[in-house]
Structures are given as C-alpha cells and as structure tokens.
Chain A
C-alpha cells in the first residue's frame, strides 16, 4: 500500500481526472480545508484505480478521530502522479467512506474492500406539501456565519441508538463549508431558544441526484427530542426554497435519527437515490453495520451539494 499527501501542484490534475470519470459533483478544493489535514493519495495492490482521500476531524465513540471521504480515480500514469514519491505511511484514518455511484461502488467493493453501509435514500416533498407546525419559543435567524457553540449540536441529535460517530462541525469548518466565501449560495439558519443555540439548517438550491434546481437541506442539526426546533427549521427551509424558486425540498439523513420520522410526518416521502454509501473501518468493530446504526451525516459531509 502506498499512502502519501496530495501535492498542491496535483490538484488541477485531480479535478480533471474526476471530471473525466463523471465524478465532477465532488466539488470544492481538496487542499484548503480548515482542519489542517492534507488530502492523501492511496494506492493498493496492482489495480487500475487509486483513492484520493479528503480528510476531516471527527468524533468516534467520544474520541478524536479522522474520517476520510474518498474518491476513486484512475490510477495515474507515472508521468502524472508519481505514487511512489514522498513518504509512505500508515493511513491512520478511522473510517474511509464514499457516496458512490453504482459503477464506482463496484470498484470500491471489489478493489478496495469497501462494505455497503446503506443503499442511500433521500427525503423529499414538493414545497407546498410540507406540513409546517408551530414552534413555540424557537426563533430562526438568517446568519452569515456560525457561532462557536455550533460544534455542540451533533451531540444533542439523539436517537436510539445514539449517534456515536460524526465529522466535527466547528465554527471554522462550518464557515469554510457554508460561509460567504464558500462555493454555492447557501442560506444559514440558526435556531435559538432565547439566547441558546438549539439547532441549525443550511439551504441551497442546486442540482442533485439527477434533478435540476432542488431545494437542498445541505445541513441539519436539530435535537430529535425537541420537535419545535425541527418545526422552526423546516419553516426556514420552506421559506428559503420558495425564495429561491425551488419546487422541491430534498435532504439526506440516516434512518437512525429521530428527524428521519419527523420529516416524514411533515409530509416528506422517502425515495431511492443513485448513490450507495460505502465504508471501510480501520477497526473491525467499525464495520458497515456499526456505521449504519451509529454514524450521523448529512449532505454537508460530502461533496455532492
């Protein structure tokens, strides 16, 4: 196995590879993330593909860890990427994961030992079909940046079983991902009860899963036990979708979270997507079924929207 950091000079070449392989939806820079973690190139065996790993700080079972989102790229010719160049090191990321198309999935499972976490589903509704409810005591403000306490929100999501793995969402990362300088026109909604931050959602109108101009809930952090927060944030999303001219509201959530049901009870239905969520845990216990039950993620985690 060869592991090395991606060189800055290779970023443009990498984007060209992704464009060629139909993976252009993996948007955004590879090197400029705020986590201070360099993207890596990972080549295993003699296969004709290698992995580029975009890495992110995470919490797994209350400990610090790294989650690596991978993209499959053709194994480059020596003249393009010199895989052997630079230090070879152990890949210490706790979990590598990918939201893959079926074609990508075949290569990831056959060539890189990825396991299927889930056939990815989405929640969707026509905007006018979303049933809104009163949210006493909760106010949502349209914000341009995140407060520091946003990092505490994932721990309050709740559910049974409780989420035990999630990519960290500190203020720096959230501003980088959704703030004014991020690609895309995101609308950040912060829910407060009094002065306390109790939830957030991020809206963007964008193409997703083969459909044009979807109203996407790119981020969703709400305590499942406090339904008023969800009601208030859904109202925010509907308002932004209407303002952006989106006909449908769409989001991804794990089926294990309370809001999976709250969204359905608000009128969103479940449909398949063209994506398969696959992963490979460094520890045996972090296998696909453990991740199915314990990993909280949203569209914010990947590069699809």
Chain B
C-alpha cells in the first residue's frame, strides 16, 4: 500500500540510472515479453547522449526508483524559430507501488511534477501511444490523439541488387547535412532538427541496431538521404525507411534513393519496403505514383500542445515527422 510520505519525488540525478533501468526491466521486460533486458549503455545512449536532452522525474522509495515519468527532448524548427518538443517514453510505476487509497496516485504525482517542470519549456509533447499508453495518456496526460498515420509500402519483385552509382553508403553524417535540412525545412511549419548531432545519435550510434545510411552527393554536398534497416516491425522481415530527406524539387534524387532502397532491401531479404509520410507531403503521393501502396497502420500519434497556436489541428497540417521520431525502428 503506497503512502505519499514514503516517497521522494524529484528530478533525475546522476547515480539514479541503475535503479531506473532495474525498474524499467521489471515493468517492461519481464520474461513474458520475450524482450531482452535493457542495458545501462542503452539507457545512457537514449537519455544522456540525446542531443535534445532528457526529461525525467522520479518517485523513489528507500532510495529505489519506483516511479518515473520521462521523455526525450527534440530540438525543432517551428515557424522559423528554434524550439523544443519532447516525446513521453517509459512512464512506469513499480508493481508494488501501484494503486492504494491515497489520491492522487504516485503516477499522477510524478506526472504533475514532470508537467510543471517541462511543459513551460517544450512547445509540445508528442507520442506514438500503443493501446495501453492511449488509455493512460488520455486519463492522466491530456493526450490528444490527433492523427492515424498510414504506411506507404512496396512489395518487392526480383530486380537489381546493386546500388545506383550515384548513391553512396555513408559511414556517418557530417555537417553538410545541415544545408540539406535547411533547404527542406523551409517548406515545413515544424520539424525536428536534422543535423549531424541528431542523425548520428539516432542512427549511427544506436547501441542495438545497424542502419543503412544512403546518400546522394553533388560536388561534395549532400542533396538527399534515406536511412533504413531490416526490421520485424510493423511485420516480420520488412525493410523500413526510418528517415527520408530530399528537397521536394529533386525527384531525380528521390528516384535514385528509391532504387537504392530496393537494392538494399533485396540484398537483405526484406520482403517489402515500408515508409511513412505526413499525407500533406508531396512524397505521400509521389511514392504512390512510383508503385507504392498505402497500407493501414496500427500507429496513432498524440500531442499535448502547450502553445495554443500550435494545437493538434495545426500539427496535423504542418509537422514533418518520420519514423525517426519514434522508437519503433
């Protein structure tokens, strides 16, 4: 039975990480899930190394983390300004500290402190809530499910297994990606900053997954890239494009990258290429013209806006997002 006086409620401090990971594994990685335990290195990468920063509030009992509300920060360009969003992840309460008679619950208390600390800072929270998170988010976090994105999918027929000669495999992103991102972002109301810090953290330095970083250069300058890997999400054995950045006027670059994705997918035995675009983006239609079909997804997207100008309706129409902004792949 939980009582408020037993808990220390505070922001994360160095030294909490082992207890956070231990409770995370108890809550999310039990033997019934079949998932591997999260490691400390993985947690450090996800939160401490994130160039967008961490958002973590904790409930501790006898110096052990028993509740957490946490988020990943994202640097964003919003209406031409530099701002931040954050994505709620890993909300949890240790099973022995759930329920009880005391209201508000430990979960709500930690969530309230989290909001007090970070809502003034982040223009919006966002998330890709699953069924359980949708229920919790709706009840406690004022989540507004604002969009149901669809996949754009191409089942692969036999074909070339070699990359087009104009496409290079990047070892890591360098600072030349910034100019490409600035050029693309000029068309969007909101988007996560895609510079070498974000991209290398998200893909190159990922502790568990290896991604194909495919790029097209002209005179040394990057003029388009796609990041993908073989994954068992949203179905088994798919080749999933996690990030796509090509200027809208460069259909030629897009075609090269699509051919490169197909080649890599065939090489790795992926049965289909899966990607996802905001429906307002020209790429949503252009990929269909290139033979991709629109498939339903089980994804929902939620926001909790903190500035009335950028409400759910605005985000639906103006936010460029990719699978990169999720932890699905």
Contact = CB atoms under 8 A, between A and B. Distances in A.
Sorting the interface of chain B by its residue count into under 10, 10 to 19, 20 to 34 or 35 or more gives 20 to 34
Given A121-B279, A269-B285, A255 B295 contact: yes
Contacts of B145: 115-116, 288
Contacts of B295: 255
A288 to B, nearest CB: 7
A117 B148 CA distance: 8
B313 A106 contact: yes
Given A106-B313, A269-B289, A270-B288, A119 B296 contact: no
A116 B300 contact: yes
Nearest to A277: B148
Contacts of B146: 116
Contact of A119 (B279, B285, B289, B298): B279
Contacts of A264: 288, 293-294
B293 A119 contact: no
Contacts of A270: 150, 279, 284, 288, 294
A256 B313 contact: no
A115 B313 CA distance: 14
Interface string B309-323: 001110010000000
A27 interface: no
B288 A255 contact: no
A271 B285 contact: yes
A85 interface: no
Interface in B141-162: 144-150
B297 to A, nearest CB: 9
Contacts of B296: 255-256, 260, 292
B313 A119 contact: no
Interface in B266-288: 279-280, 284-285, 288
Nearest to A116: B145
Interface string A101-117: 01101100100000111
A41 B258 CA distance: 53
Given A106-B311, A271-B284, 18 more contacts: A102-B313, A102-B316, A103-B313, A106-B312, A116-B145, A117-B148, A118-B148, A119-B148, A119-B279, A121-B279, A121-B294, A255-B150, A255-B296, A264-B288, A271-B285, A288-B145, A289-B134, A289-B298
23 contacts: A105-B313, A106-B312, A106-B313, A109-B144, A115-B138, A116-B145, A117-B148, A119-B149, A119-B316, A121-B294, A255-B295, A256-B296, A260-B296, A264-B294, A270-B150, A270-B279, A270-B284, A270-B288, A271-B279, A271-B284, A289-B298, A289-B300, A292-B148
